[in-house]
Chains A and B, each alone.
Chain A
Amino acid sequence: MPRVPQKNNHPAPVRFNSISGDAGYEFIDACPNAFGSITAAAGPGNNEITRRNFIRCSAGLACTLALSARVLANPDLFPEENQKFIREARYYEKLPNKKIRCQLCPRQCVIDDRERGYCGVRENNSGTYYTLVYARPCSLNVDPIEKKPFFHFYPGAAAFSLATAGCNVNCKFCQNWEISQTRPEDVRSYYLLPEEIAAQARKYSCQAIAYTYSEPTVYYEYMMDCIQAGRKQNIMNAVVTAGYIARDPLVELCKVVDAIKVDLKAFSESYYKDIVNGELKPVLESLVTMRKLDVWTEIVYLVVPTLNDSEKEFKDLSVWIKTNLGTDIPVHFTRFHPQYLLKNLPPTPVQTLELARDIAVSEGLNYVYVGNVPGHPGENTHCPGCNRIVVRRSGFTVEEINIKNGLCQFCKFKIAGKWGI
């Protein structure tokens, strides 16, 4: 991911823990329970807090939370230090002989006693299924919403972004594999209840909470409670997901979330099988469900050289989107960089991204972008009515907006999205 200079129109972001080194912001540690030190955040939007006050507040909160957590988790089943992160899972079926079937994602793992699901963050203990990552974020940052990327959702907004360990797929190109492909015990985490997440988001003047970096589906219970806590504070909620989620939990999510970005990894089952360790069909079904339930959705397609970059695949993808989701859904063709288990391939040539964009536009899609190429003209939003630039971007920075009340300022064409302006 490209590094991006700090912008002046955002409050100074806070970083609790590094994830992949791809953020360009100046981050400040602010969680003493993990690192033992705190630095006052400088910049607009930050409230000064003394070390003493912070420790005092944290200690009081920690005591309260520790007591409440003991009520919710069976202390006999898990190591004491992990009990506060344990909650019973919402979507699963009990089977004979202490087995369970997880119903959170299409994988439908059948799990024996004391074993975990494919995601690595849910465990069957004596026939009851638990999430191990409730209130256990391992990455916290304030990011521009464009970094997710959302290009048609409150441009320039700051998103309080969080993730826990775990993922229900295993993409060979994952840029956050240090947290997504590991178990919660193996990464440093924090203990932050949903109300605290909402409070932190508010403190740092974030208009949205973003569930991102790893796969929010695997910390579904925590995400849903954070969403509710955020809504109480008038903070929006945006989910960044692979869309590999079962229908029932997705429908519940769609009722409360403001925007979803789906990483559509490819348009072939073979790619999903070989590179993603998942399936395409359920992801397409999820996209259709989101569309039917009228959730603002954007699609990212990471173009990996030689694996999902054929003209036919771009065309088939575009036709499917147009037919099933309509022409107004933004599609981002983003650049691959060698990562994790795919280090033998080069970065995506910019020409390939431009080709993908041209094909999608020629098939009738209105909002098609080139991503991970800072400064590329394909980052701008053009009005489908007059073709003039209505949002000019450079990297994650919004330089110019020509939208008012959701309409193009030049020709009054309605620009699809949630603009807040």
Chain B
Amino acid sequence: MKRREFIITGCRASGAALLTSPLILLAQNNARNDSKSRVVIASDAQIQNNKDSADSDRLARLLDKAMQAFGRTDDPLKAWQKIIKPKAVVGLKVNCLSGHGATRRELVEAVCERLRQSGTRAENIIIWDRFNSDLEDGGFKINQSSKGIRCFGNEYLGFADDFEMFGSAASLICNTLSRVCDVVINLPTLKDHGIAGMTMSLKNMFGAIHNPNKYHLNTGNPYVADVFMLPSIRSKVGLTICDALTAQYEGGPSFFPHWRWQFNSLLIGADPVALDYTGWQIIEAERKKRGLHSLKESGREPKYISTAADENHRLGRCDPGQIEQVAI
């Protein structure tokens, strides 16, 4: 094959791949406003009772409103259809590290319901996290069968054979993300983190690698940003729906009820950096309200967020002037 033919064939192939990517519509959606990243903060003060138990119906309606705002459409299903193609295998990366403070099962169920209504087969939805035991502690039921919505930890499918590398990060990616899922919806929680300052969108991908224990040095900077840059993660993680119904402003990531507060909101966006910046400011505001030192004063400013936005990473925006917050 001549050099010219090779280049033309390559361009055609990559163009075709781009057009068929489950994330193409999400990319178009993001490109609508190049100057700003959209972060939707959808709130409902009545969504949970004083025991942090969420009303499933209200939660599903809140999710719909948030997706409509994010997708700029009146129909929530159209919003989903703009983002996820029906034949895509969709991974739902929850965060169950803190046990009782895990991503709400009701929220995950609502996401699954809307995915199914918008054309995704149940068998093509996989709820996953680090370990089966984490998921069970978070209230999820393990399903490793081939029927229905599946749910399992990384130990079920194991990790890729080859390293993915970027900057300071060199990790094996779980096969669930790297080989099975076409697209991943990030479903983190909003909480304080004793080492990294706070954790939400970016750091949730520590649950997709084999060696997260190696990346907690120096408040996670630049490791959190570097891990998100690993090709499989960066290319597949598109939408983030953060469970901030009850958030934690101190003592995290461990679950401490007395340091949690009802924020009664979902944070939705496609820019993980803008989302984390927004979440960070929410935590700082709550800490200030309660007379606590800022994360910077506590020696754990989440610098990895600005690192993720720097010219080496370009994962998103952390300049408040470039973040369009939509409160509904």
Contacts and interface: CB of A to CB of B under 8 A. Distances in A.
B163 interface: yes
Interface string B69-101: 000000000000000000000000000011100
Contact of B194 (A110, A170, A183, A277): A110
Contacts of B98: 114
B266 to A, nearest CB: 24
A113 interface: yes
B211 A120 contact: yes
Contacts of A120: 211, 213-214
A54 B310 CA distance: 60
B201 to A, nearest CB: 19
A164 to B, nearest CB: 15
Interface in B132-159: 132-133, 155, 158-159
A182 B211 contact: yes
A118 interface: yes
Interface string A177-207: 0000111011000000000000000000000
B119 interface: no
A123 to B, nearest CB: 10
B278 interface: no
Q: What is the interface of chain A mostly: helix, strand, loop, or mixed?
A: loop
A209 to B, nearest CB: 27
B210 A112 contact: no
Contacts of B99: 114
Nearest to B250: A97
B131 A112 contact: no
Interface stretch (B41-49, B107-115, B251-259): B251-259
B254 A97 contact: yes
Contact of A79 (B133, B165, B213, B254): B133
A112 B155 contact: no
**Chain A interface residue bracket vs B:** 20 to 34
Given A114-B97, A182-B210, A97 B256 contact: yes
A97 B251 contact: yes
Contact of A115 (B159, B214, B251, B253): B253
B155 A119 contact: no
B309 interface: no
A115 B132 CA distance: 15
A183 B98 CA distance: 19
Contacts of B216: 109, 115, 118
Contacts of A185: 131, 155
A99 B194 CA distance: 9
A118 B133 contact: no
Considering residues B165, B213, B256, which has the most beta carbons from chain A within 10 angstroms of its beta carbon? B213
Nearest to B251: A97
A170 B210 contact: no
A137 interface: no
A393 interface: no
A341 B253 contact: no
A117 interface: yes
A98 interface: yes
Interface of B: 97-99, 131-133, 155, 158-159, 163, 165, 170, 194-195, 210-211, 213-214, 216-217, 251-256
Query: Which A-B residue pairs are the 4 nearest by beta carbons?
Result: A113-B254, A120-B213, A79-B133, A116-B213
